[in-house]
Amino acid sequence: MSILATCLGYPRIGAARELKYALESYWSGKRTAADLLQAGYDLRRRHWSAMKSAGIDHIPVGDFSLYDHMLDAAVMVGAVPQRYQAIADPLTRYFAMARGYQDSKGLDLSALEMTKWFDTNYHFIVPELERTQKFSLNAAKLYAEIEEARRLGIESRPVIIGPVTFLLLSKLQDGKTQDAIPLDLLGDLLPVYKRILHELAEREITWLQIDEPCLVLDLDDRAKAAYRLAYAQLAECPSRPRLLLATYFGALEDNLSVAIQSGCDALHIDLVRHPEQLSALLEVLPSSMCLSLGVVDGRNIWRTNLDVARAMVNRAVLSLGAHRVWVAPSCSLIHVPVDVQSEQKIDADLMSWLAFAEQKLTEVCQLADGGRFDDPIAPHVLASRAMRAAKAQSSRIHDSEVQKRIQGVTEADLHRASPFADRHRVQHARFKLPLFPTTTIGSFPQTGDVRSARAAWRSGRMTAEEYKAFLKKETRVCIEKQEAINLDVLVHGEFERTDMVEYFGEHLKGVAFTEQGWVQSYGSRCVKPPVIFGDVSRSSSMTVEWSTYAQSLTRRPMKGMLTGPVTILQWSFVRDDVPRKDVCRQIALALRDEVADLEQAGLAMIQVDEPAVREGLPLRRAEWRSYLRWAVDAFRLATSGVRDDTQIHTHMCYSEFGDILEAIAEMDADVISIETSRSRMELLGDFIRYQYPNAIGPGVYDIHSPRVPTKEEMANLLVHAGKILPPTRLWVNPDCGLKTRGWPEVQTALINMVGAARVARRQFGEERFG
Ligand code: ZN
């Protein structure tokens, strides 16, 4: 019997983002529900047949989703919060949960919360459960897809989210604390899962994939007990398919015994992230279990080292026998684009290094076919070796100048010349800003005009000169508006940037762009991450021209605006032949040069945004320290080369920072602007507990909603902040960039914000001098 080639999930958005367009035209009323469902079916059919013709033996079904797989799971177990029940049509109700809903009769429902799926850039919908939640089975979608596949001659391996991961990732309607994790509901949920198993057995399904990625996290005893209880019950079901327990994104480590004692019939492990798991597993895997080897990287876009993967397959075959070994991607392929063949502009070298979903499935099949250790070496293995040998030598990748500079980095390069207190003093003397200085985060509204000018320039309808003149005018108007609003520290508005990472990627050596390399971020939203393939350096300055132009238009301080090294790393596909921390350091060095050029050009304040620092945290706490060390060092390397009287700003948003405040303090930015308005400044409590030493601008204006905050409410927030933190170290700003907002609301909100700062100044100024 040969080794099985399997797949945990296929990218559902479509090679040409068909699902995105189908969804958006349905939402805008241009197409009917039937059109949308047909588009979904067309994609599934295409994806199944792609997997079948690649040679995949276990083809996933149920991994497709119109919006999100956790939302599908919530619907499947009947966890639809009461407030959405008012909507009768199931599809409308489904999208109401995903995106909120308003109708002419006054029904106004907010969407469910969304958060990041483990350490990926995919966002899932967080199921919301009541303390007395009752579950009920509603697996119509799954069963319909199984039938569809069957009619097409595809024998499927259905995929569902496991009960424990489902509960661990859900939230209780009325709580956020640790005990509010809804594990207590397990007893009520399990009957629904048992019912699914039974009904799948009736449908003659042989294998069911149950995803339990939470098994790679640090689990407390309660969660481990929940796992034991759940799988003891599921395994004992009298009528059920065979169960594949799927784990990915990390190692089982201390949860290993839970997994192997689960009673499941197969276990999938991620051997790309943690190849060392294999030895441990081969020793302890019960003879009743097959092992699915995740040896092809589902999270990155490089071709697999077939020799390394093949060695792992061979070891498993020697120890377990071929009939107990499967080959698979490390995780679902939704985290990579569909097909590298769609790329027209990538050069042949780089092309030969890349593998998107289609290429990865071919690799899986090659590994399953050529898994026998005594087989002659197959041509694709030889080709893989030749490619790697060429790559190891390629001057596109290896830049001795960059490596020399990296070698030369010293501890002193990671430190500002003087401590914050001294810098604070000289900066105060230089800028003479009032108490509670006001500023914004960087971008101003990217209006339809800006977007159409960019489109016109890209398609050649506008010349580069015309486009540049247009951007200059936008920048000038933006600065005039900021002066009229009376902000103290200005920004240029970022009209020349579509995206804060793409812009820098386009200007850095060692970074490439795809045309069709789309990956789903959430719902219909996709991102096209830059590809960092080689040593990174800067060929020329990236932002100096825009920043100096902007500074020339005003006497007020203008902030130079850069994206930080960790954020560029985090939102890209990163080369896997050197450690991530080394890549991050190279980006930091390139940014350090940019910072120096900005300073040289007269920019006295430079902001280096790091919104992604928190999301880069490893899944296991034991690895946090070392990550935070190199992440903080990269930021410091980028920013520490400046004079004492040059003021370094940073900005962070999107997540809760309470547990990494010490690291944030170590970044030693003179000023940090941070998202707090939605958590009502709770974060400030953490800043006091850690005695955050430098200046902070807690976001007082929530830019995620079109709502205009009043002067009074922002003044209250500032006064509150001024009572718990020294007023001399407080700044006043929105909680993120204003790119997605409209000008009228932004102008009113900022006028109110400047008014609020005046209120706070009066209050604390009098206290200070009175
Ligand atoms: Zn932000």
Same domain, 381 and 436: no
* 108 in a structural domain: no
Which structure tokens are listed for 310?
A: 């093949």
Is a pLDDT exceeding 90 seen at residue 643?
A: yes
Lowest-pLDDT range of 82-96, 97-111, 522-536, 725-739: 97-111
Lowest mean pLDDT among 403-407, 449-453, 683-687: 683-687
CA distance 299 to 527: 14
Residues with Cβ within 8 Å of 277's Cβ and at least 6 positions away in sequence, in order, are 251, 252, 269, 270, 271
Number of separate domains in the chain = 2
| Closest alpha carbon to 709 in 735, 672, 691, 739 | 735
Q: How far is CA 432 from the centre of its chain?
A: 39
The average confidence (pLDDT) of the chain is 94
For position 737, which CATH number holds? 3.20.20.210
pLDDT, residue 769, reads: 44
Window from 108-112, 336-340, 584-588, 677-681 with minimum mean pLDDT = 677-681
Q: What is the mean pLDDT of residues 120-130?
A: 94
Residues around ion ligand 1, judged by CB within 5 A, are: 611, 653, 736
pLDDT value for 605: 98
Does residue 413 fall inside a structural domain?
no
Kindly indicate the confidence band of residue 360, based on its pLDDT and cuts at 50, 70 and 90: very high
Tell me the catalytic residues.
Answer: 704
Q: Are 507 and 522 in contact (CB under 8 A)?
A: no
The letter for the amino acid at 39 is A
Which of 376, 391, 406 marks a domain boundary? 391
Q: Are residues 595 and 553 in the same domain?
A: yes
**Rounded (10°) CA dihedral 388, 389, 390, 393:** 110
Q: Rounded to whole angstroms, how far apart are CA atoms 755 and 711?
A: 6
Centre of ligand 1 from the C-alpha of residue 654, in Å: 7
Rounded to whole angstroms, the Cα distance separating 753 from 441 reads 13
Q: How far apart are CA 478 and CA 562, in angstroms?
A: 18
Same domain, 427 and 378: no
- Let me know the angle formed at the C-alpha of 334 by 332 and 337, rounded to the nearest 5 degrees: 125
Q: Determine how β-strand 266-270 pairs with β-strand 290-296.
A: parallel
Tell me the CA–centroid distance for residue 650 and ligand 1, in Å. Answer: 10
Residues 587 and 642 reside in one and the same domain: yes
Q: How far is the CA of 541 from the centre of ligand 1 (A)?
A: 24
What is the 703 CA–ligand 1 centroid distance (Å)? 9
**Mean pLDDT confidence for 456-467:** 97
| 503/642 same-domain check | yes
**What are 504's two structure tokens?**
């820098």
Which residues, 6+ apart, have CB-to-CB distance to 770 below 8 Å? none
Cβ atoms of 701 and 735 closer than 8 Å: yes
* Orientation angle between helical segments 140-151 and 33-54, nearest 10 degrees: 50
Q: Do 426 and 385 share a structural domain? A: no
Q: Nearest to residue 352, comparing CAs of 391, 392, 300, 319?
A: 391
Name the range with the highest mean pLDDT among 1-5, 22-26, 388-392: 22-26
| pLDDT for the residue numbered 471 | 98
Asked if residue 175 has pLDDT above 70, the reply is no
Reported as a pLDDT band with limits 50, 70 and 90, residue 653 is: confident
Same domain? For 363 and 464 the reply is: no
Output the CA 442–ligand 1 centroid distance in Å: 9
In terms of Cβ atoms closer than 10 Å to its own Cβ (0-12, 13-18, 19+), residue 655 is middle
Rg of the Cα atoms in the chain: 27
Distance 615 CA to ligand 1 centre (A): 13
Rounded CA gap, 52 and 45, in Å?
Answer: 11
- Residue found by looking up tokens 């051997």 in the block: 271
**267, two tokens:** 């276990």
- Distance of CA 678 from the midpoint of ligand 1 (Å): 13
Contact (Cβ atoms closer than 8 angstroms) between residue 613 and residue 631: yes
| Percent of the chain residues past pLDDT 90, beyond the cut | 88
pLDDT of residue 512: 96
Average the pLDDT over 450-460 and give the result: 96
Same domain (yes/no): 428, 347: no
Same domain, 366 and 492: no
**First-residue to last-residue Cα distance in the chain:** 88
C-alpha distance from residue 651 to each of 10, 469, 565 (Å): 35, 29, 13
Instruction: Reply yes or no on whether the pLDDT at 176 is more than 60.
Output: no
Q: Which pLDDT score is estimated for 686?
A: 82
Q: Any idea which residue has 């007082």 for tokens?
A: 700
Burial of 306 (0-12, 13-18, 19+ CB in 10 A): buried
Residue 482, Cβ neighbours under 10 Å: how many?
Answer: 25
Give the list of residues 6+ apart from residue 275 with CB closer than 8 angstroms, or none: 308, 312
pLDDT in tens, 508-561: 999 999 999 999 999 999 999 999 999 999 999 999 999 999 999 999 999 999
pLDDT digits 0-9 by tens, 466-513: 999 999 999 999 999 999 999 999 999 999 998 899 999 999 999 999
Instruction: Enumerate residues 6+ apart whose C-beta is below 8 A from 401.
Output: 537
Same domain, 432 and 378: no
* Whether 573 contacts 530, CB under 8 Å: yes
CA of 491 to the centre of ligand 1 (A): 14
**Model pLDDT, residue 386:** 92
Shared-domain flag, residues 69 and 123:
yes
Chain centroid to Cα 642, Å, comes to 31
Helix axes 306-320, 357-369, angle to 10 degrees: 40
The reply to whether 232 falls in a domain is yes
Q: What is the pLDDT of residues 375-394, one digit of tens each?
A: 677 888 899 999 999 999 99
Is the torsion defined by CA of 521, 524, 525, 529 positive or negative?
positive
- The backbone torsions φ and ψ at residue 607, rounded to the nearest 5 degrees and listed phi first, read -105, 130
CA of 114 to the centre of ligand 1 (A): 17
406 occurs within a structural domain: no
> Model confidence over 683-695: pLDDT tens digits?
778 888 888 999 9
Please work out, in degrees rounded to the nearest 5, the angle formed at the alpha carbon of residue 147 by the alpha carbons of 143 and 153. 145
The DSSP result for 376-415, as a single string, is PPPHHHHHHHHHHHHHHH-TTT--HHHHHHHHT--GGGGS
pLDDT band at 707 (very low <50, low <70, confident <90, very high): confident
- Residue 169 confidence (pLDDT) above 50: yes
Helix axes 306-320, 379-393, angle to 10 degrees: 140
Number of CB atoms found within 10 A of residue 712's CB: 12
d(CA 258, CA 249): 17
CA distance 630 to 585: 8
Residue 106 has a pLDDT of 87
List residues bridging with 537 in a β-sheet.
509
Cα 655 to ligand 1 centre (Å):
10
pLDDT higher than threshold 70 for residue 289: yes
CA 181 / ligand 1 centre spacing (Å) = 28
Q: How far is the CA of 673 from the centre of ligand 1 (A)?
A: 9
Spatial CA neighbour of 331 closest among 360, 301, 294:
294
The two beta strands, 207-211 and 242-246, are parallel
**CA dist., res. 526 & res. 568, Å (int):** 17
Ligand 1 centroid distance, CA of 163 (Å): 34
Alpha helices in 579-654 (DSSP H): 580-600, 624-639
Residue with tokens 């029904």: 107
Q: Cα–Cα distances in Å, from 447 out to 28, 747, 753?
A: 20, 14, 22
| Per-residue pLDDT, 770 | 36
In a domain, 438, yes or no: yes
Residue 398 placed within a domain: no
CA–centroid distance, residue 531 to ligand 1 (Å)? 23
Compute, in angstroms, the gap from residue 651 CA to the centroid of ligand 1: 6
Name 607's bridge partners: 561, 649
Tally DSSP H helices, then E strands, for the chain: 27, 25
| Residues 408-437: tens digit of each pLDDT | 999 999 999 999 999 999 999 999 999 999
Pair 257, 364 in one domain: yes
What mean pLDDT do residues 325-350 have? Answer: 96
Please give the distance, rounded to the nearest whole angstrom, from the Cα atom of residue 14 to the centre of ligand 1. Answer: 29
Give me ligand 1 centre to Cα 73, in Å.
31
- Is the pLDDT score of 568 beyond 80? yes
Question: pLDDT above 70 covers what percent of the chain?
Answer: 97
Cβ–Cβ < 8 Å for 466, 457: yes
Amino acid in the structure at residue 189: L
Q: Which helix (H) or strand (E) holds 75?
A: helix 69-76
Kindly give the distance from the C-alpha atom of residue 702 to the centroid of ligand 1, in angstroms, as a whole number: 11
Question: Structural domain of residue 153, as residue ranges?
Answer: 4-85+113-391
Select the more confidently predicted residue: 681 or 462: 462
How far is ligand 1, taken at its centre, from the CA of residue 443, in Å?
A: 10
Cα(609) to ligand 1 centroid in Å equals 8
**Domain final position from 349, 373, 391:** 391
pTM: 0.95
User: Residue 360 corresponds to which tokens in the numbers above?
Assistant: 């990865």
Give distance in angstroms: CA of 579 to centre of ligand 1: 27
Phi then psi for residue 70, to 5 deg, are -75, -35
Token code pair at residue 356: 């998107």
Euclidean distance between CA atoms 337 and 501, whole angstroms: 18
Taking the centre of ligand 1 as the mean of its atom positions, its distance from the CA of residue 569, in whole angstroms, is 16
User: At what angle are helices 711-724 and 743-769 packed, to 10 degrees?
Assistant: 40
Q: For residues 529 and 571, is the Cβ–Cβ distance under 8 A?
A: yes
283 vs 305: CA distance, rounded Å: 25
Rounded distance from Cα 612 to ligand 1 centre (Å): 9
Place of tokens 């197969």: 266
DSSP string, 647-699: EEEEEE-SS--GGGHHHHHHT--SEEEE--GGGTTHHHHHHHHTT--SEEEEE
Tokens of 386: 């030749």
* In-domain check, residue 53: yes
Q: Quick one: DSSP state of residue 617?
A: S
401 occurs within a structural domain = no
CA 328 – CA 312 distance, rounded (Å):
12
- Ligand 1 center–CA 659 separation, angstroms: 18
Residue with tokens 């040679």: 55
| Residues 190-209 pLDDT 10s | 999 999 999 999 999 999 99
Cα of 754 vs centre of ligand 1, distance in Å, is: 20
The DSSP annotation for 418-435 comes to S-HHHHHHHHHHHH-PPS
pLDDT at 750 over 70: yes
**The pLDDT of residue 679:** 62
Q: Is the pLDDT of residue 760 over 60?
A: yes
